[in-house]
Homo-oligomer: A and B are copies of this chain.
């Protein structure tokens, strides 16, 4: 391996100057003394690539360029911070930066979830660093601890609150008894949710993140398409209230578990969690990852999962590592992960379920429901009931753990036979 000459000054190119890019720039500026001491080298931001040159910015115009290729092609630049997001053109730019001999730090969850295996292998083949701590959990150290300090464990389960927008909305729904639409509007007004909230509230963002964490833990890229995904739009304040009555909260979780050799079950969906579970007290825009390893036991990490400053913290932590590795004369010790892991279908999941239904004649149908569930090996663990107008009744069940296919088949039979008038909602339960 060729030894790279120790540069006197690390030269940085930044792609993107939105929330994350401007935060990273600010941290490089404000904490220069701390960062320089930790690396052992000084640094300089050479150029910042942007899309819109007309925006007013606090830095000299000469710092900026809309010619993004000029940054990844600049032979003077040692490290590229890719903070623009999205797969294109970010992916091509990252690849070209690596081919041009540059270390790359990225916060791009979609890019890493979709192309991490290829890009990490490419960087490794060039003896370059490609770091992406900021892609998952904002400022919370998750990616690297999973790669390093926890690496000797067989991971038996991971569950994470990995999206601040949805956790803010669900926390508001619980604390204020509001409906989804009200809480969403509030999140939008506060800047926590975008005008088009699809990426967050429909679980795409969480799916990228659990895919990245699962790929590290299980050593092969877990395809995003193999992650079962449901968002939070269907959760009502009525469900929140029943959950509370039963001692649970509802969180959008990314979950992954091994399913035998070479197979995982990865999923994103609203989940009832007992109030005593450590993840249950992670509220507002905070994120957290809970992990169970065969040796480490339970371990949890929490903190701010998004925002300019926390994300900058992760980007700059990675940048410091790149700088140190350059000084030490080699790249970091990332192990590329391959492809080819299987993902099990959600129908194979074994867990407990929350079910809210409406029935016409409560006394008569209860026995019928229990009987059908019993035929499908679904046993009931808890029940709450309420009388509605017109003699109808609303019933909420919690089941014992059972196979999802059995639960769904039983439910289908109860619905098509007319025993259950309306299936209002059902959710998976953990813990």
Task: Tell me the A residues contacting B by CB distance below 8 Å.
Answer: 1, 3, 23, 27, 30-31, 34-35, 37-40, 133, 139-141, 144-145, 148-154, 219, 278, 281, 293-304, 309-310, 312-314, 316-321, 324-325, 327-333, 335
Contacts and interface: CB of A to CB of B under 8 A. Distances in A.
B150 A313 contact: yes
A335 B324 contact: yes
Contacts of A144: 144-145, 148-149
A158 to B, nearest CB: 13
Contacts of A297: 139, 303-304, 309-310
Given A37-B219, A38-B335, A152 B27 contact: yes
Contact of A309 (B38, B40, B295): B295
Contacts of A325: 333
B295 A299 contact: no
Nearest to A153: B313
Given A141-B150, A149-B141, A310 B335 contact: no
Nearest to A140: B299
Contacts of A304: 296-299
Given A154-B34, A333-B328, A295 B312 contact: yes
A37 B310 CA distance: 32
Given A301-B301, A320-B151, A295 B27 contact: yes
A96 B177 CA distance: 64
Contacts of A328: 1, 330-333
Contact of A152 (B150, B293, B300, B316): B316
A309 B335 contact: no
Best-buried of A38, A141, A152, A304 by chain B (most CB within 10 Å)? A152
Given A139-B297, A297-B309, A38 B303 contact: no
Given A296-B304, A296-B314, A329-B330, 15 more contacts: A31-B153, A34-B154, A38-B335, A40-B335, A133-B149, A139-B293, A141-B149, A144-B144, A152-B319, A278-B281, A296-B313, A299-B303, A301-B301, A321-B333, A332-B333
Contacts of A140: 296, 299
Contacts of A335: 37-40, 324
Contacts of A39: 335
Contacts of A281: 278, 281
A331 to B, nearest CB: 7
Contact of A293 (B148, B313, B327): B313
Q: Which of A23, A154, A219, A335 has the most CB of B within 10 A?
A: A335
A279 to B, nearest CB: 11
Nearest to A127: B328
A38 B310 contact: no
Contacts of A333: 321, 324-325, 327-328, 332
17 contacts: A31-B154, A34-B151, A139-B293, A139-B297, A141-B149, A144-B144, A148-B317, A149-B313, A149-B318, A150-B313, A152-B313, A152-B320, A295-B309, A296-B304, A300-B302, A324-B333, A325-B333
